[in-house]
Structure 1
Amino acid sequence: MSVLIATEFEIKNNSFTGNVLGAPCFRDGKLDKVSRWIDENNFDLSQASFYTDSFNDLPLLEKVKNPIIVDGDDKLREIGRSNNWECISFR
């Protein structure tokens, strides 16, 4: 894996402190981290696909060209249907 976008944790004396550095990679925090990486690497989020099973990724689903819900919960599937997003299942 060449790129990992995730919540960063503070490390002191080779141990995790339990503190988060910056915004957690959750909801808008994930959108901010992904958007920053895309800008720094000359990609276009509006041309991207994004797969998720989590309602918490709604901010990112709303920004991409191809939002795809994978085994989402009832709430997320309803939002997907109302937006005509692809919903797939591996169950």
Structure 2
Amino acid sequence: MNLTLFDLDHTLLPLDSDYEWGQFMCRVGAVDAVEFARRNAEFYEQYQAGTLDPVAYLEFAFGNLARFPRAKLDSLHRQFMEEVIRPALRPAALDLVRRHRDAGDLVLIITATNRFVTAPIAQAFGVEHLIAAEPVLDDSGDITGAFRGTPPYGPGKVVNLRHWLNARGQTLEGFATSTFYSDSQNDIPLLSAVTHPVATNPNARLSAHAKAQGWPILNLFND
């Protein structure tokens, strides 16, 4: 069995699901549009620049989710999927994931975005396994605002992947081939840890690094 890993935002999706969730919450009036949009934009710019403090961002993201009962959040997310995510599912990305699944690979999405936002998106891609930022839930299943574990951001993706594989009795080095598709320089630690890194729809910094390293570059969203 080979291991195939996908980043999500700007890799399989031509958008950032975390940022778009925030924009959606502003549009539907669930949050203070002006203040939330300002903070959301600040964190997004930091992410793109590679300067994001993942702990500060998760405190912001989960703190906002904690204001709503889970039933309300799930209802909002269904609307988000129909209005924002499903129209952004591109055949090239769906086909890429499907080819790896059909080949019998162990397929995993690994993303810095939280599990609440990304679990239904992973399902839409037909991917069973997901590593994402994990919220703490109370006894009723509501999000408390806290998070657990190491944020899967930058080197944290390597930490989370190794922990996940160890729990399955596997190691990254135990796969004959390990492939990781990502768009961002933030993922260079994990791209460097696999046998087959693929810079996918790469931003300028990752594109330059990939060319210097001789990594393949894949563009899924040329349309």
* Corresponding position: 1:20 with 2:147: yes
Q: Partners of 1:75 and 1:2 in 2: how far apart?
A: 31
What is the aligned counterpart of 1:66 among 196, 202, 205?
Answer: 196
* Corresponding position: 1:30 with 2:157: yes
Report the 3-state secondary structure (helix = DSSP H, G, I; strand = E; otherwise coil) of the residue aligned with 2:153: coil
Tell me the amino acid that sits aligned with residue 172 of structure 2. Answer: D
TM-score (structure 2 length as normaliser) = 0.38
4+ residue stretches of structure 1 with deviation over 4 A?
none
* Corresponding position: 1:52 with 2:178: no
Q: Which residue of 1 aligns with 2:135?
A: 9
Please, which moves more after superposition, 2-11 or 59-68?
Answer: 2-11
Greater RCO, 1 or 2 (C-alpha within 8 Å, sep 6+): 2
1:36 Cα deviation after fit: 1.9
Tell me the amino acid that sits aligned with residue 28 of structure 1. Answer: P
TM-score (structure 1 length as normaliser) = 0.86
Q: Partners of 1:83 and 1:38 in 2: how far apart?
A: 27
Q: Which protein is bigger by CA-based radius of gyration? A: 2
Where is the helix percentage greater, Structure 1 or Structure 2?
Answer: 2
Q: Partners of 2:196 and 2:166 in 1: how far apart?
A: 18
* Corresponding position: 1:79 with 2:209: yes
1:38 Cα deviation after fit: 2.6
CA deviations over 1:32-65 (Å, ceiling 9, x no partner) = 1112223343243473010011221111001011
Q: Partners of 1:88 and 1:4 in 2: how far apart?
A: 22
1:81 Cα deviation after fit: 0.4
Tell me the amino acid that sits aligned with residue 27 of structure 1. Answer: G
Q: Partners of 1:67 and 1:87 in 2: how far apart?
A: 9
**Sequence identity of aligned pairs in percent?**
26
Q: Partners of 1:58 and 1:19 in 2: how far apart?
A: 27
